[in-house]
Amino acid sequence: MPAINKRFVDSAALGRHYDDKLPGFGLYVGKSGTRSYFLEYRPGYGRAVAKRRITIGRHGAPWTPTRAREKALELLAAVKAGNDPLDARMRATRRTVAAVVEEWLKRDQAKNRSRKEVERIMGHDVLPAWGKRSIDEIRKRDVILLIDSIADRGAPIMANRVLAHVKRLLKWAASRDIIENDPAAHVEKVVPETKRERVLSNEELASVWQAAEQTGYPFGSAVQMLILTGARREEIFSLSWSEIDGDVIRLPAERSKANEGRTIPLSPQALDLLDSLPRFEDGDVVFSFTGEKRFDNVGRAKPRLDKVIAFAHGEPVPAWRLHDIRRTVATGLQRLGVRLEVIETVLGHVSGSRAGIVGNYQRYRFEAEAKVALVAWGEHVMTAIEPSKKASVVPFSQNG
């Protein structure tokens, strides 16, 4: 066994090393190169009691080898007096998973546009299982059991989502020195995921529209607005009346995925839809029961919408999600002859033709062309809803 001194600490290899003079005192070197001092001791009397390990601190001010050794001697004196230092520390510094999740949501997830959904998932799947436990107690096996339990109820994709959030939480906690190691670092997804390619046909799009109309405000109306704009779900479900400026929606940077403000043109059909919606005197939220809080029960409303479709047509629209509407709009615009740059503007994307050097130097955003494209799309949607009516689809002009 080596002597735990500065020379040894600076050159120590990966693993746990014990001092040659002070029993139980040692140094741990992690995979990241972090060096921490610890003490192993046996509380109480008799060898039948299992050893416990307490971390003294990470190498660096104030924890030099000499200072860490002195602390180890203090702890051993406390053990000899009949105390258990680890129990005392856990009682003094115990942090429940619920408390850490609350802090994580505030500090790490504050600017996440999907924060509400992350909070919902953590509250539904993580906190009931772990909320009252100390975060120091969570081990790799706990993570695996939690994820497997979600997959076993028939929700493997949700299991992957929960794992992603848990990984982020525990990695953040480790980076903040709340826990010493990240127990989820090497836990794999339950099932591999492939990129979705689902695009609704005109008939399916009409079925969704009609069912949304029957479902009504606020959820059904919000779904119809998704169809007419191709916007992201959060952009529409959190829409405020103050963000509507004439015939466009102006989203501030904090409401846009690219962290820059964007404009969503409104077709005549979208404007008519907005004109038909109720307004609340004391609230600014468009899709809401009160005007103050957005409609936030999509998890229950979507299955009800599917039941309306199945009742009206004898069968549901198979395997579709709200996000598929964006892909459907993009594909529909492509079929109408709309250029890629214009489609990206409609969707609010900065990838593809607008990424990299081109995106940095070409600042023209094709907003006028996007307006023309969505007018053509609105006419196309109306034609799909009432094919016998043969609405006059606006021919798309690349010149606006």
Domain that holds residue 136: 97-175
Instruction: Decide if pLDDT at 131 tops 80.
Output: yes
- 248 and 370 both lie in a single domain: yes
Percent of the chain, pLDDT > 90? 67
This prediction's pTM: 0.57
Q: In the chain, how many domains are there?
A: 3
Instruction: Decide if pLDDT at 395 tops 50.
Output: no
Quick check: is 325 in a domain? yes
Quick check: is 197 in a domain? no
Collapsed DSSP state (helix, strand, coil) of residue 175 = helix
Domain boundary residue, one of 140, 175, 210: 175
How far is residue 196 from each of residues 199, 204, 235, 319, measured CA to CA in Å? 9, 17, 21, 11
pLDDT tens column, 145-162: 999 999 998 888 899 999
Residue 256 pLDDT class (50, 70, 90 cuts): confident
- 170 and 123 both lie in a single domain: yes
pLDDT value at residue 257: 67
Look at strands 244-245 and 15-18 and give their pairing: unpaired
Instruction: Decide if pLDDT at 261 tops 90.
Output: no
Instruction: Decide if pLDDT at 397 tops 70.
Output: no
Quick check: is 313 in a domain? yes
- The enclosing domain of 67 has a CATH number of 3.30.160.390
- 106 and 63 both lie in a single domain: no
Quick check: is 326 in a domain? yes
Quick check: is 372 in a domain? yes
- The enclosing domain of 120 has a CATH number of 1.10.150
- 208 and 343 both lie in a single domain: yes
Quick check: is 265 in a domain? yes
More confident residue, 236 or 355: 236
What is the token pair recorded at 210? Answer: 């009609």
Instruction: Decide if pLDDT at 313 tops 80.
Output: yes
- 211 and 350 both lie in a single domain: yes
How far is residue 236 from each of residues 197, 202, 217, 221, 264, measured CA to CA in Å? 22, 22, 13, 10, 10
Quick check: is 192 in a domain? no
pLDDT value at residue 350: 65
Ranges 90-104, 126-140, 255-269, 370-384, most confident: 370-384
- 249 and 383 both lie in a single domain: yes
Average confidence score pLDDT of the chain: 88
Quick check: is 394 in a domain? no
Domain boundary residue, one of 65, 93, 121: 93
Burial class (CB in 10 A: 0-12, 13-18, 19+), 299: exposed
137-141, 322-326, 335-339, 362-366: least confidently modelled range: 362-366
- 377 and 313 both lie in a single domain: yes
6-10, 176-180, 242-246, 305-309: least confidently modelled range: 176-180
pLDDT tens column, 363-373: 467 889 999 99
pLDDT value at residue 389: 43
- 67 and 102 both lie in a single domain: no
Average pLDDT on 59-66 reads 92
Residue 391 pLDDT class (50, 70, 90 cuts): very low
pLDDT value at residue 207: 95
Residue with tokens 């229950």: 300
- 189: nearest Cα among 221, 235, 157: 157
Domain boundary residue, one of 175, 191, 214: 175
Instruction: Decide if pLDDT at 361 tops 70.
Output: no
Average pLDDT on 162-187 reads 92
- The enclosing domain of 372 has a CATH number of 1.10.443.10
- 112 and 40 both lie in a single domain: no
- 140 and 257 both lie in a single domain: no
- 220 and 323 both lie in a single domain: yes
- 87 and 46 both lie in a single domain: yes
Burial class (CB in 10 A: 0-12, 13-18, 19+), 130: buried
CA-to-CA distance for 150 and 339, rounded, in angstroms? 42
